[in-house]
Amino acid sequence: MPSETTQPSETTTAPALTMNDVRSLEAGLDALQTAPGTTTRRRSVWPVLAPLLATALLIGAWQLFVLAGIKPTYIVPSPLDVLHQAVEAWGRGDIQQALVTSLERGIVGFAVAVLVATPIGILVARVRWVRLSFGPIITGLQVLPSVAWVPAAILWFGLTDTTAYFVILMGAIPSIINGLVAGVDQVPPLFRRVGQVLGANPWEAVRHIILPAALPGYLAGLKQGWAFSWRSLMAAEIIAVGGKIGFGLGSMLQQGREIQDMSVVLVAILLILAVGIGVELLVFAPLERRLLRRRGLAAETSR
């Protein structure tokens, strides 16, 4: 009877994983979601032409309303009167001063809000007891109108730039936090398990896996946070006038109301609107298109 020989069991050791594997995971995850194939871009003038036509239509309707004489011109001035007022304000330097002051406040305040809200959002999204404790409060702060903070900020900080920055932060931070939390919640559990298999520590998992996968929700939160911060800033500039607060677009709007000059009011409103549209078209829209292309969604959304 032949003797049974037992083969010694061989244990295979998996090769050591380096953090290069973790760093390459972000690109790999995006590559899995990127639609292959053609990159033919249909260039059309319609995306540019349509807003211009809509603007011309609104200006035409505005002019017709003025010509109809329904309201006196000192209540509803014509587009040419508003343009003339804008040229005069530009010549005096009022528009330049107001734009620089408001944009500086808005950009600095929003940047600080992003720096504060991002780590808080990650903490709320990843730690259960933090979410249970502070999640409802953050949502309540997001719902609270930012203008409600202006009287309190004036009492706390006086008529200074700190008042404007405080109102900006209170308007932007909750929206950015909730946007990031929503983005993290939508990250597939498989991505987290892949990070664990690769040996990523919590910080490396957040940096290379969680945040890249949560970018759509995070970007939506940033976009909403900017909208809230811009509106909050205008409310602060309208109410907190005088003292050491500089002359911004909200101050121009309030000045037009005080001197009862509707042309000045409309110039300020149009400038506030132009800044909002400009930030959307020059900052957030390109970021969204780039993100959608990386995720293979650009073709579907462009239809």
What average pLDDT does the structure give for the chain?
81
45 found inside a domain:
no
| pTM of the complete model | 0.77
Q: What is the pLDDT of residue 296?
A: 66
Q: Which residue has the higher pLDDT, 270 or 210?
A: 270
59 found inside a domain:
no
Cα of 170 vs its chain's centroid, Å: 14
pLDDT in tens, 12-64: 444 444 556 555 655 555 555 544 444 444 556 777 788 888 888 999 999 99
39 found inside a domain:
no
**Could you tell me the maximum CA-CA distance found in the chain, to the nearest angstrom?**
117
Lowest mean pLDDT, pick from 45-49, 59-63, 209-213, 245-249: 45-49
17 found inside a domain:
no
**Distance of CA 106 to CAs 163, 226, 241, 248, Å?**
13, 8, 17, 11
Q: What is the pLDDT of residue 205?
A: 72
Contact (CB, 8 A) for 251 and 98: yes
- Joined tokens for residue 84: 């003339």
150 found inside a domain:
yes
Residue 248: which CATH number? Answer: 1.10.3720.10
* Total domains, the chain: 1
Q: In this structure, what are the phi and psi dihedrals at residue 187, rounded to the nearest 5 degrees? A: -70, 125
Buried b or exposed e, range 85-114, using 16+ CB within 10 angstroms: bbeebeeeebbebbbebbbebbeebbebbb
Q: What is the pLDDT of residue 285?
A: 86
286 found inside a domain:
yes
Q: What is the pLDDT of residue 208?
A: 74
Q: What is the mean pLDDT of residues 194-215?
A: 73
Report the C-alpha gap between 180 and 294 in whole angstroms.
Answer: 19
253 found inside a domain:
yes
Asked if the model's pLDDT at residue 109 lies above 70, the reply is yes
Q: What is the pLDDT of residue 23?
A: 57
104 found inside a domain:
yes
Report the C-alpha gap between 68 and 74 in whole angstroms.
Answer: 14
Contact (CB, 8 A) for 95 and 89: yes
User: What domain range includes position 227?
Assistant: 73-301
